[in-house]
Structure 1
Amino acid sequence: MRIERHQVDEAKVEKAREDFVNRIGRQVHSYSRAGLMATMEWQLIADSFLDYLGALSTSRPDLHFPEAKAVLKDATEAACGAVSFAAYYPHDGFGVFLDYPNFGMSYHREDGLERDPFHRVGPREWLDAFCLAIISDRVSPHGEAFCWARQLMPDDRVTPALELVDGFVAHFFEEAGLPASASASASADEPQPGLRALRALTDQDREAFDAALLALLREGPHGTRPAGLLPLVPIALAALAHRTHGWAPAVETDYLPHALVTGFETPGPRVDGLGRGRRPDAVARLAAGPVDLERPVLDPPFSPESEARFERRTLEAVTPKEGEPLDARELSGALRYQSWLLAARASQSADATDAVLAHVRLGSQLGAAAFRAALAEPGTEAEASIDGRVLRFPACRDRDFGPAFWQTALCYALITNSSEDLEPLLLAGPAIAAEDRSPFAAYRTALHDHLRGADPLPATERALKEAERTRDQNAFLPPPVVLLSQLVEGDETSFNLALLDALEAHRDHHSVADRADEPGAALSLDVLALACHAHRSRGWSVQVRSPYLPPRLLGAPASA
């Protein structure tokens, strides 16, 4: 059976899609400047995300693409933020963070204040947020807030929405030790379809569940807003059925987008440390020969005037002024300029041009020079060869030569295959100038240990756990930990599978919002560096062909 979606206002669809990246940014920052963001503000933000998600579904009903996943995540966090405010403020602290506009707000305990009844959430808002939490697999971290928010609802009038709220609370929390409500509605003689679906899930009665889900879908239409194309209660129940019992919806309809029901699931067994699904087709294609991975068409990230300025400032950093010594602190800025220039030139070609090769060589030399200066004894000078010139830098261990700078410099040295440039980086290590307190710390330690011949397994295990803990934080792209782990383990086949995963993750990350405009969209230095290193040090064949892996860089001979 198929159920067609109802028609929505085309003008509202266009409005929801138009300039959403900037519009949602203006919305959240406008609310934050107006004072304390409470339930209403977070609900309005969630509504904007849901309208945009519904508008996206008009052209891609399955919603299986990165932009939709990012939008769903922040719709969930905003809606749950409203529930958290109602549950906790002002008696407990909590925080809300939205990856898409890169915006967050922390709330602290306010002694002496009482809860404002105006900031309660009603049953309908509670249901929307809870269904989003089910769809996004975020019930566990927000469960306590949902239970407390339910406790604060008035019980003077029982409505179908409130009955369903209590049904969800009973289904999820009565055995979890959380403060749940007492629900009499589940024992009603003629429960509503949502409650019948929950009971069928508990009883594992698929026929009853299918009938209840069909009844819910037939209750529409769901309004003229784009969000009405995504009825959250049926989607959440279908998601529960799929994830609990493996049931696929018995009805065919775009009201139940495949990605939302399955959790953006990729078919296939889970075989790596981060729980990502391996696609059997990818495994078969890699076994048969190289796999092609396209890169989206990218606009130049900088103007010609900006590129000329980067070139000029790099030259200034390595050109002695009369009567003055060179300053090693300028090398960190110079390497940043080379990275921007590399991104600009690499974005316009599928292979490395002569200009790209020049930027990589210069970047490798600049990074090595900085760490030679960091290793030099105070009062002495470090000698470095840069762009065919032998230069001397006074000893300097600046905080700008910190772990992130070390990681970038190391990538350049691995890509150029220069043992001369790699040596000072391995002697210095990532924390020579500053302690590493970032989520990348274990990855950098593992990479350092692997390259200097120490045991990399303890740090690699820590890095895998850290990557698992932060894998849903889409505001930043985590390092290619699984790729490194396969290199450490010496598994060429799994390395190529992880390489494909890492490049797809990079592409997907830069497919969201306006991230395609970021300089790093054209290349992942970390992934490229590991691919180059595996190819040269292990002799492994790289089975992924892509503009993300320029052949001239992969096949570059040793430069020192």
Structure 2
Amino acid sequence: MAEAVVSAAREDFTNRIGREVHSMSKAGRMATYEWQAIADEFLDYLGALSVATPDLDSAEAKAALKDASEAAAGAVAYAAYHPHCTFHVFLEYVNFGMSYDPGDDSPAERVTPGEWTDALCLAVLRDKAQWHGEAFHFARQKFAEQAQGTPAGELVTGWTAVVLDHTGDDEEYPPGARAKLAAVDGALDRIRTRAAETGEALLDRPDSVALHALRALLVEDREAFDATLADLLTAHAAVQGPAASPSTLVPLVPVALSALAYRTLGWTPAVRTDYLPHALVTGFESQGPRVAGFGEDRRPDAVAALAAGPLVVERPACERDGIQRVGAMYDAYLQEAFTAGEGKPLAVARLSSVMDDQKRLFQWRAGNPGDLVDAQLATLRLASQMGAALFRIALAEPGTDVEVSIGGRTLRYAAERGRSAGAGYWQTAVAFALITGVREDLAPLVLTGPTFAHPDGSAFTAYRAALHAYLKGTEPEAAARRALQEAEKAKDWGFAMPPAVLLSQLVEGDEESFNLALADALETHRAYYQVADRGDGPEASVNLDVLALACHARRRGWSIRVESPYLPQYLLQAAEPL
């Protein structure tokens, strides 16, 4: 494949795909063509990534696969549901979604058998085929009759039986192996009949060969499966040229067949080729976390590694230019926020805004080698005082004025319990208080809590409640278990969740498991910010919640046996045991 083709697929992909998606959304209704086009862009990118990383074992590749799958499933859903049903498509990589309501403002559409198969293969690779099963079922109905006897149409029949557990016999659900085999054999028979009628060598077509591979899986004939998979890959490679699309580097049908074989029967591909990226075949298989909540399921190898020496978590380069200018700008905002009109109290909303500024400034600086220790400590102390002040203001009687001390100044605010005393600001304020270790700053946060001003309602609600319960010492274990349950639910929601497993080790009082979970939390943070342009933001350099719990654990007298740029040593050293 030409290097220029691969380079073009990778160049500025994050910005390019974002522009294309938003341009499509403004041009009119996004239907099957648009979702399919987006899926193709992600597949080209995935193929281009495989040139440098043949196994595709990276956070970026996983994210690209996810949105390729969701976009392709979006095309299938549109064909299945529009204009009769409500459905929704969301792409995490570009943070874009589209909702559809019933209506006849545009005609119904369909996908081709080939597009249906590609979408199903992507769903198989993400273990989401059953999740989208209804959409695949209804989309298939629109072409099933016309495609009967064709290799492409009958391969869909095979996928439907083997993967979606639908053989056409509603009385037997889920169908057994015999019923699935009968469905696949029936599909092959119809291809033979059509081949005899037309004189075409339909059984030699790739889709027919893939159907034979599905049959080999059903009867667990590994020799036949390996042979048909090799035939598919050989035929695929033979027709590729320098101008081929990068997506051809990841042939979906062979990869999905290999994934099914590996995940259901434990068969590793007999054919060693970059056409079968290891991560896609195995489902990005890994050893899993070092430890689960409350010290459960500790991996013996991880425990041994921790005993042998500190665990090291590297951080990608995230040095920033222009931080001095940013700091000067934030200083100017700070002066404005602390300057009131004659006889008037200061605005609470400005206080929460400048606390966010100090948070970003700390994170920007933390990404630079040899960040300024004194400046960082001053920023943290100031931010901690701001967070405490927000909730001292909330504690005061509404309608009164309250004085708070920030940075050596005594400032007057009108007491209120608005947005600035919300759950998000509470979580940030607690993080600063735990990092600095100033008990006076933590006190109003313990007295109030995340829902003092108004209900939370976010995905972080359970974690914040657990953190508050831990700080108060009020049934922290039950609250931490709820946080773990919510974190498990949110695994595939596309945003970074707070460190519930790490918090549970503090609740349990398990120092060893805390260190194991600390390494896991930092690696999870790193992986999240290695996707798309997330690493361009200040949050990439340090996870405030994780750092806060590490500093707090240090003050409990625990040894922090994880070394990482994500954990500035000067802060851990400053967190002397109480």
The 8 Å contact of residues 290 and 517 in structure 2, kept in 1 or not, is answered as no
Q: 1:345 deviation in Å?
A: 1.2
Q: Determine the structure 2 residue equivalent to 1:218.
A: 234
The 8 Å contact of residues 317 and 327 in structure 1, kept in 2 or not, is answered as yes
Aligned pairs for 1:27-176 (under 5 A) are 27-110=20-103, 116=108, 119-157=109-147, 158-172=149-163, 173-174=165-166, 176=173
The count of aligned residue pairs is 546
Q: Determine the structure 1 residue equivalent to 2:509.
A: 490
Distance in 1 between residues matched to 2:254 and 2:229, nearest whole Å: 6
Q: Determine the structure 2 residue equivalent to 1:473.
A: 493
Distance in 2 between residues matched to 1:285 and 1:165, nearest whole Å: 48
**Does structure 1 residue 521 correspond to structure 2 residue 540?**
yes
Distance in 2 between residues matched to 1:383 and 1:225, nearest whole Å: 65
SS in 1 for 2:52: coil
The 8 Å contact of residues 344 and 519 in structure 1, kept in 2 or not, is answered as yes
Q: 1:55 deviation in Å?
A: 0.5
Structure 1 residues 407 and 302, CA gap change in structure 2 (3 angstroms): farther
1:301-353: CA deviation from partner (whole Å, max 9, x where unpaired) = 76543331111112332345543322333210110110111112111136661
Distance in 1 between residues matched to 2:87 and 2:29, nearest whole Å: 13
Distance in 2 between residues matched to 1:420 and 1:186, nearest whole Å: 75
Q: 1:204 deviation in Å?
A: 2.3
Q: So what's the TM-score if we normalise by structure 1?
A: 0.92
SS in 1 for 2:236: coil
1:270-290: CA deviation from partner (whole Å, max 9, x where unpaired) = 85369x998765443212111
SS in 2 for 1:471: helix
Q: 1:381 deviation in Å?
A: 3.2
The 8 Å contact of residues 63 and 257 in structure 1, kept in 2 or not, is answered as yes
Q: Which runs of 5+ in 2 are unaligned?
A: 167-171, 193-202
SS in 2 for 1:255: coil
Distance in 1 between residues matched to 2:281 and 2:293, nearest whole Å: 24
Distance in 1 between residues matched to 2:352 and 2:31, nearest whole Å: 42
Q: Which runs of 5+ in 1 are unaligned?
A: 1-7
Aligned pairs for 1:38-437 (under 5 A) are 38-110=31-103, 116=108, 119-157=109-147, 158-172=149-163, 173-174=165-166, 176=173, 184-186=186-188, 192-221=208-237, 223=240, 224-267=244-287, 272=292, 282-300=302-320, 304-349=324-369, 353-437=373-457
Q: 1:512 deviation in Å?
A: 0.9
The 8 Å contact of residues 35 and 72 in structure 2, kept in 1 or not, is answered as yes
Aligned pair partner of 2:525 in 479, 488, 506: 506
1:196-249: CA deviation from partner (whole Å, max 9, x where unpaired) = 222222222222222221121112125411000001011111111111122111
Structure 1 residues 235 and 203, CA gap change in structure 2 (3 angstroms): same
Distance in 1 between residues matched to 2:183 and 2:458, nearest whole Å: 44
Choose between structure 1 and 2: higher helix proportion.
2
Of all paired residues, the percent bearing the same amino acid is 56
Distance in 2 between residues matched to 1:559 and 1:531, nearest whole Å: 12
- The aligned amino acid for 1:149 is A
Residue range with higher mean Cα deviation, 69-78 or 152-161:
152-161
Q: 1:106 deviation in Å?
A: 0.5
Cα RMSD between the aligned structures? 2.5
The 8 Å contact of residues 486 and 492 in structure 1, kept in 2 or not, is answered as yes
Distance in 2 between residues matched to 1:273 and 1:480, nearest whole Å: 10
- The aligned amino acid for 1:406 is W
Distance in 2 between residues matched to 1:416 and 1:269, nearest whole Å: 29
Distance in 2 between residues matched to 1:512 and 1:269, nearest whole Å: 20
Distance in 1 between residues matched to 2:475 and 2:452, nearest whole Å: 20
SS in 1 for 2:413: strand
Distance in 1 between residues matched to 2:99 and 2:527, nearest whole Å: 29
Q: So what's the TM-score if we normalise by structure 2?
A: 0.89
The 8 Å contact of residues 301 and 519 in structure 1, kept in 2 or not, is answered as no
Q: Determine the structure 2 residue equivalent to 1:446.
A: 466
Distance in 1 between residues matched to 2:362 and 2:106, nearest whole Å: 56
Structure 1 residues 283 and 433, CA gap change in structure 2 (3 angstroms): same
The 8 Å contact of residues 267 and 277 in structure 1, kept in 2 or not, is answered as no
Structure 1 residues 267 and 323, CA gap change in structure 2 (3 angstroms): closer
- The aligned amino acid for 1:324 is K
Residue range with higher mean Cα deviation, 382-391 or 481-490:
382-391
Q: Determine the structure 2 residue equivalent to 1:18.
A: 11
Distance in 1 between residues matched to 2:289 and 2:518, nearest whole Å: 18
Q: Determine the structure 2 residue equivalent to 1:552.
A: 570
Distance in 2 between residues matched to 1:61 and 1:234, nearest whole Å: 16
The 8 Å contact of residues 291 and 299 in structure 2, kept in 1 or not, is answered as no
Distance in 2 between residues matched to 1:396 and 1:301, nearest whole Å: 38
Structure 1 residues 279 and 165, CA gap change in structure 2 (3 angstroms): farther
